[in-house]
Each structure stands twice: as structure tokens, then as C-alpha cells.
Amino acid sequence: GHVGAWAPRPEQVATAQFLGNTSAIAAYHETMIRGLRQRLDLLYEGFEAMRKGGLPLTSFAPQGAIYLSVKFDLVGRRHGSAVIRTNEEIRRLLLEEAGFAVVPFQAFGLNEDTGWMRLSVGAVSPAAVRSGLARVRALLERVS
């Protein structure tokens, strides 16, 4: 549902009680960080395997957040009869053809269409990462 500008009182009380349980918070934090790291590593290793296999992309190793930066070097390449010209076209292609959501760096102030995108693993499972990578690989293999 919708909670508006603040959490309802019962949630506030429950959260306040939970915050006093430092061992539960530490255990949750450890599990959360381990899961994020696993998903980031899966994503990065998958993209590195694609790059080493000759597909047009570059990525930075994870650096502690929930995001991964990837350059899909597709500007000037063809998908079917269309020439890819912008980050927006890359974003749309990945979403529509591979079911893979990315955010172009223009959202963070970059003006040029360089193919750089940000990806998040905050709310995705390892299985979803693996299947997403397979769909991206199949798409990139079709781009000339």
C-alpha cells in the first residue's frame, strides 16, 4: 500500500524495537552485503566473459555499491536495418529485446552518447542475473 510521507505508528514502534537488536541487525546486514556482492560479481563476471569473447562491451569491477557501470559499445552498429545512434536507443534495445533494464549515464549528467549505462542489483536474484546475462549475450551476438 501507500504510506505517504511517514511510516504509520505501528511500523515506527516495531522498527524502533528492532533497531535495539544489534545482533539481528548485524546478521541482516551481513546477509544483505553477501547477497549484493554475489549478484554484482555474477553480473561483472558475465560481462567480462562476453567482453573476452569479443562482444562490444566494457565494465568496471564492482566497487562497493549496488551498481555496476557498463559500456555497451553499440553506437554506430546495426541491429536489423537500424543504425544505433544514442544511449536511449541502446537502453530501449536492451529492454525490449533482452528484457534487461539499464539507466543511461545521461541521467547522471553525461551529455555524450557513449554507451555507458548503470545497472542495479538491489532487487534481483542470482537466477535473474544469470538469465538476464544470457539474453543480453544473445542480443549482442545479433548486433553487427
Q: Give me the amino acid identity at 129.
A: V
Q: Residue 119: which residues within 8 A CB-CB, separation 6 or more?
A: 43, 67, 68, 69, 70, 101, 102, 103
CA distance 144 to 56: 10
Residue 50 has pLDDT above 80, yes or no: yes
Separation CA 73–CA 87 (nearest Å): 10
Give strand pairing partners of 104.
Answer: 117
Q: Is the pLDDT of residue 2 over 90?
A: no
Q: Residue 70 class from Cβ within 10 Å (0-12 exposed, 13-18 middle, 19+ buried)?
A: buried
For residue range 79-118, what is the model confidence (pLDDT) as tens digits? 999 999 999 999 999 999 999 999 999 998 989 999 999 9
The pLDDT, as a whole number, for residue 64 is: 78
Q: What is the mean pLDDT of residues 19-44?
A: 94
| CA gap 137, 51 in Å, rounded | 10
pLDDT of residue 139: 97
What is the pLDDT, as a whole number, of residue 4? 63
